[in-house]
Amino acid sequence: MRPNQRSRGGAGSGVNDSWLLAAVWTLAVVSIAGAARLLWWYWPGRVFDGVTSHIWTALAWNLAHGEFYRPPLGPHGYGGTRYMPLLFGAHALLIRAGVDPIHAGVALMQGSVIAAGVALYFALRAYDVPARLGAPLVMGVLGTVIYQQYCTDLDPDYLAAAFATAAVPLALRSGRSDGVGWLVAASTAVVLAALTKVTAAAYVAPIALWLASRQRMRGAVWFAAGTAALFAAAIAVVQIASHGVFLESFRATVSGGMRPSDIWRAAPKFVREVAIDPFVAVPFILACWSAIASVNGQLTLARKFLGTASVITLVIFASPGTVGNHLVDLHMASLLVIGSAIAEGQLSARPTAALFACLATLLAAISIPVAGIPSVIATLRAHGLPTRVTVRAVHEEFLPRGTSYLSTDPVIPVLNDERPLVLDAFNLNRFLKEGAPPGRDLEQRLRRHDYQFVILREDPRPLTDRNDLDRLVHSTYAVRAVRRPFVILAPRADEPLLHRPR
């Protein structure tokens, strides 16, 4: 008999409560409608909203054209990235097949979200959550501020979460049948998650601990060791395929410029990022409460998974530049714990229904959006929407073939079928700040006016509050034109061509 079967549909379970089902299904419908409305409004004729998405697209374009990773300073320009290869590898295959780079990225992003939902559904079903409750809970993946922010972008978190979550039902199946094959499949899922987002390798821990708690110590050891060996083998393949560049690039960028002081800021940042998105915060708090208040105190795999997701997210937030997209794992783990707790009769149906009803109402308000309530659509409208027409106009007006230029947003060269000179401006700024060779090389080239034009993204902050790269560009180049969201700069007439020591 399955461990949770005794409680499924019983008197203490909320899976048959009409108010709870109505609230969860309402949130599901609003989530789908809000996602469809935002996608339909944003996408025709546009490019990704965030520069990070264009970094992923540039990595894919380069791979499709034979360059698998690039050293921080190389013959083709400035590289250096800590991004893992699975997402942009799939993107590159689509580009090689003739799919437009932006369209391919949109399909990959939405496919990742669907895959995450499917993985969560099977994980819920493995905990005997009936389909009538599991299906609407899965739709809640679309009902967050995170999703609304990143449905206009390309991001690896949903794909990594899909693989990591898929490991849960595979591991549970091994526990019910003692099948080694299911554990091998779970191990493979964790490795694929780590090849999408390196921190996902930590999801080996909850499965190994769960195996150990079930007196399967030998299986736990073999699972952990086997997953580590498989991941190491995969990294060796990537290193060979990149001609030795991957580890060099990864070592130079993995910390994101983290300093000891950033460690102490991780917890406040974690709290702040969770609080920004009530559709993550409420399920997370509810899941934590249900885990702590469990009647028998049993740490199920789902609860271990939530604990691991919390620790991973806290560690990630110690790195500068990280934002709310890293809460995807936390949200999915919370939904898994909530679903299993409801099925086990450990969450009261009516209070839970009230929480989901409130979330549905709030989500409808930000999806419409209602005036006076902060929303993704309102923010996008205020900032201006990056379009293909703008990218094309910048090329036609300023960048005819043969023009030497530097763009910190790789979409400018990629959509003109040109190799990007800068792959990751965030890391290039770090190299500049730290005085690393790529940064020194860039400074010399800017001071010599090697580029006819430099193109930046608009930044409303005063120049003194911007990063080192922006300040250097503005000290050596002057604004020639603004084509929102791009700023086009040309060499300053009063800037000496000789390199000035810092």
pLDDT at site 214: 85
Round to whole Å and give the CA distance between 82 and 256: 8
Name which of 144, 142, 124, 149 is nearest 52 in CA terms. Answer: 149
Please state which of the ranges 21-35, 207-221, 402-416 shows the lowest mean pLDDT.
207-221
pLDDT at site 257: 73
406 three-class SS: strand
Band (13; pLDDT cuts 50, 70, 90): low
pLDDT at site 319: 86
Query: What does the pLDDT look like over 141-181, one tens digit per residue?
Result: 999 999 999 999 999 999 999 999 999 999 999 877 667 89
Task: Report the phi/psi class of residue 254: left, alpha or beta, with left for phi > 0 and alpha for psi in -120 to 50.
Answer: alpha
pLDDT at 6 over 70: no
Please state which of the ranges 123-137, 249-263, 307-321, 415-429 shows the lowest mean pLDDT.
249-263
Q: What is the mean pLDDT of residues 491-501?
A: 58
Other CB atoms within a 10 A radius of the CB of residue 90 amount to 17
Query: What does the pLDDT look like over 326-361, one tens digit per residue?
Result: 999 999 999 999 999 999 888 889 999 999 999 999
| Token output for 13 | 């379970």
Band (496; pLDDT cuts 50, 70, 90): low
pLDDT at site 308: 96
Whether residue 252 contacts residue 72, with contact meaning beta carbons closer than 8 Å, is answered with yes
- Chain position carrying tokens 């293909």: 388
pLDDT at 391 over 80: yes
Backbone angles phi, psi at 422, to 5 degrees: -115, 125
pLDDT at site 260: 76
Query: What does the pLDDT look like over 14-49, one tens digit per residue?
Result: 788 999 999 999 999 999 999 999 999 999 899 999
Round to whole Å and give the CA distance between 248 and 266: 27
Q: What is the mean pLDDT of residues 468-497?
A: 89
Backbone angles phi, psi at 480, to 5 degrees: -100, -35
pTM: 0.93
Band (422; pLDDT cuts 50, 70, 90): very high
Round to whole Å and give the CA distance between 21 and 136: 8
DSSP β-bridge partners for residue 482: 487
